[in-house]
Structure 1
Amino acid sequence: MGKKEFEASLAEGGAHHRLAQMAGEWAGTFRLWFQPDQLACESPQRGSIRSILGGRFLLHEYQTRFGDDLIDGVALYGVHLDDDAFESAWVESFGTGTSIMFSAGSAGAEHFNVLGSYGDGQGGPRWDWRTEIEQPDADHLVITMTNITPQGEAAKAVEVRYARVHA
Structure 2
Amino acid sequence: MSKTKFEISKESGPHLRLLSLVGNWDGRTRTWFEKDVLADESPTTSKIISLLNKRFIRYEYRGIINGKTHEGLMVWGFDLGNSKCVCTWVDSFHMGTGIMYSEGVETRNGFSVTGQYDNLEWPEPWGWRTELEILNSDQFILRAYNISPTGEETKAVETINLRIDL
User: TM above 0.5, one fold?
Assistant: yes
The CA distance in 2 between the partners of 1:120 and 1:153, in whole Å, is: 19
Matched, 1:43 2:42: yes
Q: Distance in 1 between matches of 2:162 and 2:6?
A: 29
Question: Is 1:21 aligned to 2:20, yes or no?
Answer: yes
Distance (whole Å) between structure 2 residues aligned to residue 6 and residue 27 of structure 1:
30
SS of aligned partner of 1:55: coil
In the alignment, the residues of structure 1 paired with residue 4 and residue 137 of structure 2 have an alpha-carbon distance, to the nearest angstrom, of: 27
Measure how far apart 1:4 and its partner are.
1.1
Give the aligned partner of residue 4 of structure 1.
Answer: 4
- Indicate the residue corresponding to 2:127 in structure 1: 128
Stretches of structure 1 lacking an aligned partner (at least 5 in a row): none
**Cα distance per residue 1:99-125 (max 9 Å; x no partner):** 100000023x32211000011441411
Q: Counterpart in 2 of 1:52? A: 51
Query: For residues 127-146 of structure 1, what are the structure 2 equivalents within 5 Å?
Result: 127-146=126-145
CA drift at 1:79: 0.3
Q: Distance in 2 between matches of 1:164 and 1:59?
A: 16
Pairwise CA RMSD = 1.2
**Percentage identity across paired residues of the two chains:** 37
> Aligned ranges for residues 1-167 of structure 1 at < 5 Å?
4-11=4-11, 13-107=12-106, 109-110=107-108, 111-166=110-165
SS at match of 2:128: strand
Q: For residues 7-51 of structure 1, what are the alpha-carbon distances to aligned partners after superposition, in whole Å with 9 as ceiling and x for unaligned?
A: 11111x211111111111000101100001111110100000111
Deviating more after overlay: 116-125 vs 89-98:
116-125
Deviation at 1:144, TM superposition (A): 0.2
Q: How many residues align?
A: 163
Task: Supply the distance in 2 between the matched residues of 1:15 and 1:36 (Cα, whole angstroms).
Answer: 32
Q: Which amino acid aligns with 2:147?
A: I
Residues in 1 aligned to 2:33 and 2:66: alpha-carbon distance in whole angstroms = 14
Residues 36 and 155, structure 1, Cα contact 8 Å, conserved in 2: yes
Contact 1:32 1:157 in 2 (8 A): yes
TM-score, structure 2 normalization: 0.94
What is the alpha-carbon distance in structure 2 between the residues aligned to residue 41 and residue 121 of structure 1? 28
